[in-house]
Homo-oligomer: A and B are copies of this chain.
Amino acid sequence: MKKIPSDILSQVIKKRNSDSFKGTYGKVLLIGGNQNYGGAIIMAAEACVNTGAGLTTVATDSVNLSALHTRVPEAMFVDYTDQKAILALLSKVNVVALGLGLGTEENAIALVKLILQNIAENQTLILDASALDLLANRPDLLSQLKNLESKVILTPHQMEWQNLSGIKISEQKEEPNCRALQQLGSNITLILKSNHTTIYDSTHQDIWQNTIGNPGMATGGMGDTLTGIIAGMIAQFGNSTQTILAAVYLHSYVGDLVAQDNYVVLPTAISRLIPRVMHDFQK
């Protein structure tokens, strides 16, 4: 197991080329936010936009439209019950993040199926939160990960990984985790979230550990913010292990900055600081 190198941000965050436009920086589709958990998808959008994705669209319940546009007017909206509109969007984006505050009701299942069937080779699919819960309960859907040609990122915390992999939290060690991940598919990156988040890469079979971050970040919405950062980073810098490591590191690095003055580190406080921190590390 390697540590994420402390210069990962300057490795990944490129000074922008003056000859570029918003399309250069990728298109992201974030899907989630039912009538109870709208904040999750809004916080992810906030993180994604502040990370610098070129265009961010949020597929969510229509009750969340007002709060979304108020907090993140830069993000576009699509009703997450409108499969046709989502399918049209899907073909145009680089990154899809699915599951944040999505719930596990009928529409959630339909969306997971829709995305698994239509995600394409050159795209990245991040499966988070409710999507992981759903997959854990639906072996038929989980087994589809094997056949996906897109790159997949899973972002479970330890309990979600237990449900997905069958490995108890106390036994979530490198070897069994690697084996379980290999069984899920060969094109998957696992971001196993804990106080020492570990990244498993099923393609290169590398394992990386995040050594920064702080317990002030142990609060609701922190994972949604991480997923938004990952999506925004991949949209701009492409899906590589380096990019994913940089996203995890950036999230914790900004969290540590906020914790210098704050007891609890609110997810939205992280998003607000991202543009400044990325500025300092661009190369």
**A interface, how many residues as a size bin?**
35 or more
Chain B min CB distance to A162 (Å) = 13
In the complex, which residue of chain B has the Cβ closest to the Cβ of A67?
B69
Which among A35-43, A122-130, A145-153, A240-248 touches the partner chain? A35-43
- Bound-state Cα–Cα, A11 to B49, Å: 35
Which among A111-119, A132-140, A181-189, A210-218 touches the partner chain? A210-218
A20 adjacent to chain B (CB < 8 Å): yes
A35 touching B77 in the complex, CB below 8 Å, given contacts A21-B218, A222-B22? yes
Which among A51-59, A90-98, A170-178, A199-207 touches the partner chain? A51-59
Chain B residues lying within 8 Å of A17, measured Cβ to Cβ, are 215
- Bound-state Cα–Cα, A17 to B20, Å: 42
Chain B residues lying within 8 Å of A39, measured Cβ to Cβ, are 69, 72-77
- Bound-state Cα–Cα, A218 to B67, Å: 24
Contact of A220 among B37, B65, B74, B259 (CB under 8 A): B74
A16 touching B218 in the complex, CB below 8 Å, given contacts A38-B69, A65-B38, A70-B66? yes
Within 8 A of B (CB), among A183-198: 194-195
Within 8 A of B (CB), among A1-56: 13, 16-22, 24-25, 35-40, 42-43, 46, 49-56
In the complex, which residue of chain B has the Cβ closest to the Cβ of A77?
B36
A276 touching B264 in the complex, CB below 8 Å, given contacts A25-B219, A36-B77, A221-B73? no
Q: Are A13 and B267 in contact (CB under 8 A)?
A: no
A219 touching B18 in the complex, CB below 8 Å, given contacts A42-B73, A267-B74? no
Q: A52-B216, A264-B278 are in contact. List 14 more A-B contacts (CB 8 A).
A: A19-B215, A21-B157, A24-B218, A35-B65, A39-B75, A42-B69, A49-B220, A51-B264, A53-B219, A64-B69, A70-B71, A74-B267, A262-B276, A263-B279
Residues on A lying within 8 angstroms of B by beta carbon are: 13, 16-22, 24-25, 35-40, 42-43, 46, 49-56, 62-79, 85, 157-158, 194-195, 214-216, 218-222, 259, 261-269, 274-276, 278-279, 282
